[in-house]
Structure formats: structure tokens, C-alpha cells
Structure 1
């Protein structure tokens, strides 16, 4: 009983000591300046790794702490524009390039010039994060496009190196429930449809506008890309009407031989179909140019913690932080500066070299000079492409109409 009493009598002292320590720790934590960082990948399968990466910053700091905020991709842009437009929102925001330019135009994010000491070390795509000579973002995630193929489904295992070979390979691989190629071709998936069309158009040398910003929707090169899209559609080598989730699943099941997709999809396919002989090569078009996904990290113009937010960005740009971030992506994306891969990393993910080699020829899936108007122009173009695919409308006539409609409806008089 005495022993029991002694144990019970010590209890209040332990509780008091615990409360004292807890109060001290709480006071220490309260001294830290807490900032928030919203990004849709925090809610994805990569979320835990990316949040661990943020923790590396927090562990290195005495005065600042970053709190990750996970918001699903589908609602992310609307949530951010609503909150930031109301003078609120997170301190740091990872936007996709599609929403980055409207955010700049609406003065929702602030210029962040002068925080990168060696801008020459950045990847070439960094140039798209400056508007009117001012920097508004830093690349947080970059995914390039290339040809993903199942070697076992291609004749003699040979990857096509030009468009004629690609057509032949797609035809030869099709049959018995297997499709030679897959892409999007419906307005129900207009965002992905646009990405796929961009890759064909860019690969055939086309651009949606010239260096002066003049629309070139009906240029010979753009028309050639649309005609090639139509040629593939007419071959019956694709699972027509299938959305991306469906045909990517089919690919992982060995039912699709080829698709042109980004590095994040490749990483996912290797997880879903680890035993498939999946490899990557440059897209089989006349030129190497392809679209890419660029997602910059930005600073909310409403933030009350500007210096703390900039401190995080400066830490992010340290070589060890860049490597840790790219490692967190697991081979699905690249970061602002080139990261040297180890032999072990390349052995595990040999496709990294192919995707990384496209960095100098990556072009945004936007209409240059009319980034904010891209959604309207995109819809006009895709509606004409659907007519080409489904009604045999001549590609030149379709794009002439797209040019006329865009000039009349979208551009200022």
C-alpha cells in the first residue's frame, strides 16, 4: 500500500512538470511566424512525401513554420481565386500555368524579383514565369511530354522515330482487343484534349500565335498538326471516346501500345503495371517541340508574412532542397534547377533522361501573347477539331474558321 501511495503521490508532480514543459513548448511554438502553403499535390498520392519535404524547412528554422494546405485539383483554382479575390487566402500558392497568368493580371500575386542569385542556372522554361520583365513565380513542378510505349506490343519491339513509322506501328499493334495508340478527342475532356492537340500541332512546327502575338491558328504548320490528328483518328487504332483515366488503365493492362503523355503519367504507369516492358522515347513528329506542364509557386499579394514567404522560397532554391524536392516527386516531375541523377536513380527510372532532354523544346499549352484569352481560343479551336474528326471537314477550312472566329470574338477590336 505504501508503494502504491508513493506512486499516486508522485502523479501530481509529474502532471505539473508535464504541464510546465507543454506550456514552454507552446510558448516557443507561438513565437514562430506561421505561414500557409496551398498546393493540390498535397492532396495527391505524392502528398506525404511533399509534406515531409516542407517539414525539412520547418526543422531547419527557429522563427518560421510552413503549414501545408491540401486542396484537390478539381476545386483548387476556384478556391484560390475566391479567397485571394476577397483579400485572403494562403501566403504561398502553387498555381498551374493556366491559372498563373490570370492571377498575375488580377494582381493576386506579387512580384518576387531579386531572390534568385543565379538565374542562369534555372531551366529554360523559367522564362514563362516573368511578365513584363517581372518575376511572379518560381517553377515548383515541371512535367514534359514524350512517347510512352509498351515494347512487347510493337512489331519487333521497335519504337517509331518518325510519323510514318508511328502510323505503321499503331496499325500493326491494333487488333484482338489491343489499340495501337490512345489520345483524347472529345469536348467532355477539353483540357486534356487541348493538351493532346497541342503536342501534335507543336510537333509539326505549328504555334497558335507568332512572336508579335498575332494569331496563327490557320497557318500551314498548325493545319498539318490537325490533319495528322485526323489521320490517326481515322485509322481506328484508338479507343474512341475513352477518357484519359480509362485508356491509361488500359495501357497498364497491356491493351494500349503507345500514348504521348507527361512524366507524371509515366511514373504512375510504372506503379500500376510494374511488369510491363514500358519505355519512353521522343515523340515521333517532324520537330522535337512538345507541350509541358509548368506549375509555379507564388506569393499571395495579400500576405502579411512577405519576408517569411520569401525565406521559404530562398530555402527552396538551395541545391539540397531542390534535390530533395525532385526526390519527393519520385521521378514524376522536375524542379526549377537541373538535378544530377545518380546511377541508381537512372537504373530505377531510365525514362528520366528522355523527359529531361525535352526541356529546351517545351512550349506552354497556351496561346502566347493571349494567355488570359486561352480558354476562349481553346474552345473555338477544339470545336473545329471535333468537326474535322467527326464530319470530315477539311482541316484548312476548319482552322480558317477558327482564325476568323477568334479574331472576331476574342481579340480586341
Structure 2
């Protein structure tokens, strides 16, 4: 059940009063219904052009509806959307990030899909279940980016791919030396959001969760195991301490980092930036297969004057051929339905299958039941984990303190 404080549930309506011009005006041109579709991805170099061409394919498939794409920078996207929606406007279709999705639902900013789309009509993958709130669906996945272990076989000393955390530690230490590092992740407050993603992978992989859906569980035994493992890697001497993601990812494709756990978007970048880098992928070597998930839902604005047209586009997007085209554009990411890769793609990029196979075990990097308040909880958790990494605090003591601080915060 989604738990949201009144203050945060209405956050979308309480944003700054400086509002950009409305992006949603029900236009009618030559008997066509014109819809607007906003997303950060439309502003991306290269991929944005291909996504706009994908939308144009819909426009050419019929004569009654035209969808116009709107690309915006990530830094201002959410605030712009919530401000416009709070004023009764905004785009008809919106590709949100998960955290903004969970703010939009209780604020009444997006429509439930149930009256327009039946799950049984489509082969939706497991992560789509996270887009249901109180039993109602409010979106479908536009993009699913999973996390797995990427490694450079040339840098693994014995050629053995780690399948357990102990093997990961051993392999990382063995690959470290002469300017190379065996492993890389984030562990600084400056990289807080990325640090959170990497930490979630450890905690989830060791079977921990930040809550049981109703109560916080920051100091549960499995969470503490994950934090303790994070500390072991930090103390191993195998990581470039203080390096940000941009730096160590570049080091990876320059053959200076042997292993990292990262998302499919990064794998796609490696494939583009360093096509001669023969990296491979395998499931993360933790006790369970659970790992973090970057889930970007496609939603419909509650203010739209063209509900039927908006859901006509959603239904089109979910058709097998169009899902395949979208997945090809997104690279190593998956889409709402299960789309098998072509033999040609798998032959060229065998790591794609590893990412796709992770989908059923993917978990959003949010605190279940406290989704909208995840940023507050994230701050508390990261501060306590830094005490473990840098101050030598016992993981149990640190997470006991985190639990007490978080429970007190959630009462405010």
C-alpha cells in the first residue's frame, strides 16, 4: 500500500509559481486530434531522434491522431510537469521516472489505466506490477533498465567469473595493481543518488529490503549483511576510492577496471564508445538474484481532454512490432512486454540476454510503501552507511541508528 504524507502527496500542486506555458492544448488540425508527449529521452542525442521517428510511425499508421514529442532536460523536467499539471495543463502523455510516478498518483495527476487497458490483453513483464497502486494500474513500462555484473575477461587473472560475493572479492583483489582496479562503485555523498543505486544492489542481492511495505526494516539482518558486504569491498583495496561514475566507467572501457555492477544503459554506452572492448555480463554474484531497477513508466495526464486518443497511442505502443522497434532503439533496456532479441543481436551482443533475463528479479530502488519519501530516507541511510565505510562504525549499530532516525522522520 502506498503511504504518503499529505504534505508530499500534494507536492506536485505546491511547486514554484513560475509556470512555463502550458504544454497541453487540445488542438484540432485537419480533423486530427493532436496529443503532446513529453519525456527526457526525446532530448537525448542520437536516441532522441530515433524515438521521435518511432512516434512518427504511429502518426503515419492512421489519420485521426497526431502525437507531438516534447524533449526536456532532466534537471527541470519533473518540476515543469508537476507545475503545469497542478495548473490544469501539461502534456497528454508523459514518460516519468519512478519517483515522480509515485508522487503523481496520490496527487491525482495521472489517470488509472483500468477503464481503457486490460492487462490480459498484453504480455506485460513483472516490473509492470510496480506501476499498480492500491490494485489500480497507472502506467506501463516505457523503459526497463536492469543491473547485472559487467566484466572484462582480459583483466580477470584466472579467467574465472565470480558467482559468489567471496569470489567477487577475490577476483577484484587479484585484478588490482599497476594502475588497474578490480572493481568500482560509488561511496561518496557527492554521488549520493548513484551511491544509493549501488547500495540497493548489495542490499537487495543479500535478500534485504528497506521496508516490508508497511514498516521500515532498515536494520533487518539481511539489510545489515548487504551493508557489511559493501564495507568489505570498500576495505578491499580493489576500488578507486572517491572516483565518480563518469570516471570509473571511462576507466572500464579503457581496460583499467575489471568488474562493475551497472545498468543496461551503461552497457549500451560502452558498446558505442568502445566497440572493440570485449566486455561480458553475468548475474550479480550475490546470494539472491534481486537487483535494482530503473523503471520509466508511460503515463496519461489526468488533465487530458483526449483520453481515448491518448490510450489509443498507449495500445499502439504495446503492440508486439512496436515494442520490438522501441526495444531496438533503447539498446540494452527492455520494454513493457517480453520481446525476444534477434539471433543477430545476440550474436553481436551476447550480454543483452543477461540483462533481459534479469527483468523478473528486478526491484525498484525505492522504499516500498514510502516511495514518495524515499529521498528523505535515502539521506538518512547514506549518512549512516558512510559512518560504516569511513568511520568504522559497526554495520548493525549504524543501521539501528538509521532505523530510529527514519521512524522518527516518517512521523513528521
Give the structure-1-normalised TM-score: 0.90
- Alignment partners' CA distance in 2, 1:375 and 1:31: 45
Three-state SS of the structure 2 residue aligned to 1:372 is helix
1:385 aligns with 2:398: no
Structure 2, unmatched stretches of 5+, are 1-27
- Alignment partners' CA distance in 2, 1:29 and 1:122: 34
Matching residue of 2:137? 135
1:217 aligns with 2:231: no
Do 2:280 and 2:351's aligned partners in 1 also have CA atoms closer than 8 Å? yes
Do 1:210 and 1:216's aligned partners in 2 also have CA atoms closer than 8 Å? yes
- Provide Cα deviations, 1:243-273, integer angstroms capped at 9, x if missing partner: 1111111111111111100111101111112
Do 2:122 and 2:337's aligned partners in 1 also have CA atoms closer than 8 Å? no
- Alignment partners' CA distance in 2, 1:148 and 1:210: 30
Select the structure of larger CA radius of gyration: 1
Matching residue of 1:238? 239
Matching residue of 1:159? 161
Do 2:146 and 2:362's aligned partners in 1 also have CA atoms closer than 8 Å? yes
Give the deviation of 1:133 after TM superposition: 1.1
- Alignment partners' CA distance in 1, 2:224 and 2:53: 47
Structure 1, unmatched stretches of 5+, are 1-27
Matching residue of 1:89? 90
Over the residues paired in the alignment, what is the CA RMSD in angstroms?
1.5
Give the deviation of 1:361 after TM superposition: 1.2
1:409 aligns with 2:409: yes
Give the deviation of 1:116 after TM superposition: 3.4
Give the deviation of 1:117 after TM superposition: 5.4
- Alignment partners' CA distance in 1, 2:87 and 2:284: 43
Give the deviation of 1:183 after TM superposition: 0.6
Three-state SS of the structure 2 residue aligned to 1:354 is helix
Residue in structure 1 matching 2:197, options 171, 181, 195: 195
Give the deviation of 1:120 after TM superposition: 6.4
Do 2:38 and 2:95's aligned partners in 1 also have CA atoms closer than 8 Å? yes
- Alignment partners' CA distance in 1, 2:104 and 2:65: 26
Where do residues 271-290 of structure 1 align in structure 2 (5 Å cutoff)?
271-290=272-291
In the TM superposition, structure 1's runs of 4+ consecutive aligned residues that sit over 4 Å from their partners are: none
1:178 aligns with 2:177: no
Give the deviation of 1:29 after TM superposition: 4.8
Q: How many residues align?
A: 384
Where do residues 299-310 of structure 1 align in structure 2 (5 Å cutoff)?
299-310=300-311
The range that moved more, 215-224 or 357-366, is 357-366
Do 1:116 and 1:317's aligned partners in 2 also have CA atoms closer than 8 Å? no
Matching residue of 2:40? 40
- Provide Cα deviations, 1:172-204, integer angstroms capped at 9, x if missing partner: 111111111111111112111111000000111
Do 1:184 and 1:241's aligned partners in 2 also have CA atoms closer than 8 Å? yes
Give the deviation of 1:402 after TM superposition: 0.3
Higher helix share: 1
Give the deviation of 1:157 after TM superposition: 2.3
Do 2:332 and 2:355's aligned partners in 1 also have CA atoms closer than 8 Å? no
- Alignment partners' CA distance in 2, 1:242 and 1:334: 29
Give the structure-2-normalised TM-score: 0.91
Give the deviation of 1:394 after TM superposition: 0.7
Matching residue of 2:77? 76
- Alignment partners' CA distance in 2, 1:257 and 1:31: 58
Matching residue of 1:18? none
Matching residue of 2:20? none
- Alignment partners' CA distance in 2, 1:119 and 1:185: 44
